[in-house]
Amino acid sequence: MEHCNREENKAQCNCTYPCSRKGRCCDCLAYHRRNRELPACYFPDDVEKGYDRSVDNFIKIYRERGVCWN
C-alpha cells in the first residue's frame, strides 16, 4: 500500500468543509473531478468558503485574480 502523508496534507489544506476526504488528496481530486469541479486548494480562501468549486467559478476567479495557489 502506498504511503499517504495525510497529516501533512491536512496541514496545507485550506478546505473549510467538514469532509472525510480531507488530507486524502487523491480521493479529493477524484471526487471533484467526477463532479466537474476542482478541490478547495485551487481557490483563494475567501472564495473557498462559498463551496462553489465548479470549473466555471475557477475560471472566473482565475481571470479576475490570476494564480491564487502556492
What are residue 54's DSSP bridge partners? 37
What is the x/- site pattern for ligand SF4, positions 2-41, by CB under 6 A? -------------x-x-x-xx-----x--xx------xx-
Nearest to 8, CA basis, from 24, 29, 28: 24
DSSP state letter for 47: H
Which position has the grid cell 502523508?
5
47 lies in the site for ligand SF4, by CB under 6 A:
no
The residue type of 26 is C
Shortest separation between residue 3's beta carbon and ligand SF4, angstroms: 19
Binding positions for ligand SF4, rule: CB under 6 A: 15, 17, 19, 21-22, 28, 31-32, 39-40
